[in-house]
C-alpha cells in the first residue's frame, strides 16, 4: 500500500493542528488546508520542515482539486465569538465547504470524515445526548449559523453516502479543550485560564449552574483517527466527548485552584440560546471504536494552563 495522503481542512486550527501532528507520527503524508480565519501557521510551525507535510492557504468555500486518500473536514470557526462575527461566512463554510469536500471525495474516491458538533442537539431536551436524538435547535437565532450549518453538512454527508455511495464518517464532537486554543476566542476554558493567569475577573455567565463536559484534545484526536479507520459500514453519526459533566461554576473554581490565582468570580449575563446542560452518551463510541477518553479534567487543565502561561510570558 502506498503512503496514505491525508487532507485536513482547518488543519491550522486548534483541533486540526493536533490531528496533523498525530497523522504525521503514523507516517502519513498530510496536506493541511486553512484560510487562517481563526487558525494560525504557528500551530503547525513544528511540521514545516517535515517533507511529508504540506500547508496550503485556501478557503473551502472554493473548489479544491488535489489527490488524496482521506479527508478530515474540520474547517469552520468553532467558538461563538468567531462564528457569530461573520455568520453568513460561517454557514457558507459549513455548507459550501461540505459540498466541495464531498465533491472532491467523490472524484478521488477518498474516505471523508466530518467534524460535526454537539450543537446539532441545540438546547437538548434529553440528557445525556444520544445519537438518535434529533435535537432542539433554534433555526433563526444567533447560534443558528453554526448549528444549522453543521446540521446541513450532516445532511449532505448522508445524501452523498446514499446517492453516490461515498465512504463517510460523521463525528459529533463535544466541548474540547487543550493547548493551542485561541486565547481570545471567548470559549470558557481559554477565557477562565487567561483571566486567572492575568489576575483579571473570571467572567461567569448566568448563575454558573449550566453544565458542559470537557474532552482533552489528545483523547478527541484519538477518537477521530479510530473513526476514520473503521470499515465502510460505519458512518456515524457518533458522539465523541468526555461524559464527565461539570457546572461552569465548578470549572471556574477549579481553574482558580490550579492556577493559584487571586482573581474573583464575577457574573455576566447569559448569552441567548446558551444550552443549559450538555453531556455526551458515548456508548456507541465505546462499542464501535473501543474508545473512551482517558485524561481527567485536572490533568488536561494543567497542560492547558502551562500552554497559556508560556504564551502570555512570550507576549
Ligand atoms: P478552530 O477555529 O481552532 O479551527 C478551525 C479552523 O478552520 C481554523 O484554523 C480556521 O482558520 C479554519 N477555517 C475556518 N473557515 C475556513 C474556510 N472557509 N476555509 C478554510 N479554513 C477555514 O476550531 P477547532 O476548535 O479546532 O474546531 C475544529 C472543528 O471541530 C470545527 O469544525 C468545529 O466545528 C469542530 N468542533 C470543535 C469543538 C471544540 O470544542 N473545539 C466542538 C465541536 C465541534
Ligand atoms: N469539487 C472540488 N474538487 C473536486 C471535485 C469537485 O472542489 O475534485 C467541488 C466542485 O466545486 C463541485 C462540488 O465539489 O461543485 C460538488 O461536486 P459534485 O461532483 O458532487 O457535483 P457537481 O460537480 O455536479 O456540482
Ligand atoms: N461561559 C462563561 N464564561 C465565559 C465564557 C463562557 O460562563 O467567559 C459559559 C457559556 O455561557 C456556556 C459555557 O461557558 O454556558 C461554555 O461556553 P463555550 O463558549 O466555551 O462553549 P459552548 O457554549 O459552545 O458549549
Query: pLDDT tens track of the chain, all 315 residues?
Result: 689 999 999 999 999 999 999 999 999 999 999 999 999 999 999 999 999 999 999 999 999 999 999 999 999 999 999 999 999 999 999 999 999 999 999 999 999 999 999 999 998 899 999 999 999 999 999 999 999 999 999 999 999 999 999 999 999 999 999 999 999 889 999 999 999 999 999 999 999 999 999 999 999 999 999 999 999 999 999 999 999 999 999 999 999 999 999 999 999 999 988 888 889 999 999 999 999 999 999 999 999 999 999 999 998
Residue where the block lists cell 449552574: 209
Q: Distance from the CA of 94 to the center of ligand 1, in angstroms?
A: 10
In a domain, 201, yes or no: no
Does residue 81 fall inside a structural domain? yes
The three grid cell numbers given for residue 189, joined into one nine-digit string: 476554558
pLDDT of residue 274: 86
φ/ψ of 116, rounded to 5, equals -90, -165
DSSP per position, the chain: -PPPEEEEETTTSHHHHHHHHHHHHTT-EEEEEE--SS--GGGGGGGTT-TTEEEEE--TTS------SEEEE--S--SHHHHTTSHHHHHHHHHHHHHHHHHHHHHHT-EEEEEEEGGGGBS-SSSSB-TT---B--TTSTTHHHHHHHHHHHHHHHHHHHHH---EEEEEE--EE-TT--TTS--HHHHHHHHHHHTPPEEEETTS--EEE-EEHHHHHHHHHHHHHS-TT----EEES---EEEHHHHHHHHHHHHT----EEEEPPPTT--S---B--HHHHHHH-------HHHHHHHHHHHHHHHHHH-
pLDDT at residue number 1: 67
How far, in Å, CA of 215 to CA of 246, rounded? 12
Strand partners, 9: 33, 73
Q: Which atom of ligand 3 has the smallest separation from the CA of 270? A: 11
| Count of other CB atoms within 10 angstroms of residue 69 | 17
The residue to mutate among 200, 212, 254, 266, having the most atoms of ligand 3 within 8 angstroms of its beta carbon, is 212
Count of CB atoms within 10 A of residue 131's CB? Answer: 18
Looking at the DSSP bridge assignments, the partners of residue 113 are 72, 169
Task: Give Cβ neighbours of residue 37 (< 8 Å, ≥ 6 apart).
Answer: 77, 82, 89
Is 209 a member of any domain?
A: no
For ligand 1, say whether the CB of 83 is within 6 Å of any of its atoms: no
Q: What is the pTM of this model?
A: 0.97
Q: Which three cell numbers stand for residue 69?
A: 486518500
**Do the interacting molecules here have an ipTM over 0.90?**
yes
User: Does residue 183 form part of some domain?
Assistant: no
Pocket of ligand 3 (CB under 6 A): 79-80, 175, 187-188, 191, 203-205, 210, 212, 248, 270-271, 274
Query: Among all chains, which residue has been given the C-alpha cell 437565532?
Result: 141
Cell representation of residue 216: 482533552
Q: What residues are paired with 213 via a beta bridge?
A: 245
Is residue 314 a part of any domain in this protein? no
Residue 61 in domain: yes
Give the pLDDT confidence score for residue 272 in this predicted structure: 84
Nearest ligand 1 atom, CA 12: 9
Which residues 6+ apart lie within 8 Å of 73 measured at CB? 9, 10, 60, 97, 98, 101, 112, 113, 114, 115, 153
Domain presence at residue 11: yes
| CA-nearest residue, atom 22 of ligand 1 | 75
Tally of structural domains, the chain = 1
Cβ atoms within 10 Å, residue 36: 12
Q: What is the CATH number of the domain that holds 112?
A: 3.40.50.720
Backbone angles phi, psi at 14, to 5 degrees: -60, -65
Which residue, 27, 22, 4, is CA-closest to 219? 22
- Please tell me the distance between residue 179's alpha carbon and the centre of ligand 1 in angstroms: 15
Active site residue 160: no
Q: Which domain holds residue 159?
A: 5-178+217-242+279-294
Beta-carbon contacts of 93 under 8 Å, excluding residues fewer than 6 positions away, are 59, 60, 61, 75, 76, 77, 149
**Looking at the domain assignment, is residue 255 inside a domain?**
no
Query: Ligand 1 center to residue 93 CA distance, Å?
Result: 10
Active-site option among 37, 121, 146, 216: 146
The Cα diameter of the chain in Å comes to 58
pLDDT at position 82: 93
Amino acid at each position: 500500500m502506498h503512503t496514505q495522503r491525508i487532507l485536513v481542512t482547518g488543519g491550522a486550527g486548534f483541533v486540526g493542528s493536533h490531528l496533523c501532528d498525530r497523522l504525521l507520527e503514523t507516517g502519513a503524508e498530510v496536506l493541511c488546508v486553512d484560510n487562517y480565519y481563526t487558525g494560525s501557521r504557528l500551530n503547525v510551525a513544528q511540521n514545516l520542515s517535515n517533507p511529508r507535510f504540506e500547508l496550503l492557504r485556501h478557503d473551502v468555500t472554493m473548489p479544491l482539486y488535489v489527490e488524496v486518500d482521506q479527508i478530515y473536514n474540520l474547517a469552520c470557526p468553532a467558538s461563538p465569538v468567531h462564528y457569530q462575527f461573520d455568520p453568513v461566512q460561517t454557514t457558507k463554510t459549513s455548507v459550501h465547504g461540505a459540498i466541495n469536500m464531498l465533491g472532491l471525495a467523490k472524484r478521488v474516491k477518498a474516505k471523508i470524515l466530518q467534524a460535526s458538533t454537539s450543537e446539532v442537539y441545540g438546547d437538548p431536551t434529553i440528557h445525556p445526548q444520544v445519537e438518535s436524538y434529533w435535537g432542539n435547535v433554534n433555526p433563526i437565532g444567533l447560534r443558528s449559523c453554526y448549528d444549522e450549518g453543521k446540521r446541513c453538512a450532516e445532511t449532505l454527508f448522508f445524501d452523498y453516502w446514499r446517492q453516490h455511495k461515498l465512504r463517510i464518517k460523521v463525528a459529533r464532537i463535544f466541548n474540547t479543550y487543550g493547548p493551542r486554543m485561541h486565547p481570545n476566542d471567548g470559549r470558557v476554558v481559554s477565557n477562565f485560564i487567561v483571566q486567572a493567569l492575568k489576575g483579571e475577573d473570571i467572567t461567569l455567565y448566568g448563575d454558573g449552574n449550566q453544565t458542559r463536559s470537557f474532552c482533552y484534545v489528545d483523547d478527541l484526536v484519538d477518537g477521530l483517527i479510530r473513526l476514520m479507520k473503521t470499515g465502510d459500514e460505519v458512518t456515524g453519526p457518533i458522539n465523541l466527548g468526555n461524559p464527565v459533566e461539570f457546572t461552569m461554576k465548578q470549572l471556574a473554581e477549579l481553574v482558580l485552584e490550579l492556577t493559584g490565582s487571586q482573581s474573583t468570580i464575577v457574573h455576566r449575563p447569559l448569552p441567548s440560546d446558551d444550552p443549559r446542560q450538555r453531556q455526551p452518551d458515548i456508548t456507541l463510541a465505546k462499542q464501535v471504536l473501543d474508545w473512551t477518553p482517558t485524561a481527567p479534567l485536572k490533568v488536561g487543565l494543567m497542560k492547558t494552563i502551562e500552554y497559556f502561561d508560556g504564551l502570555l510570558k512570550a507576549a
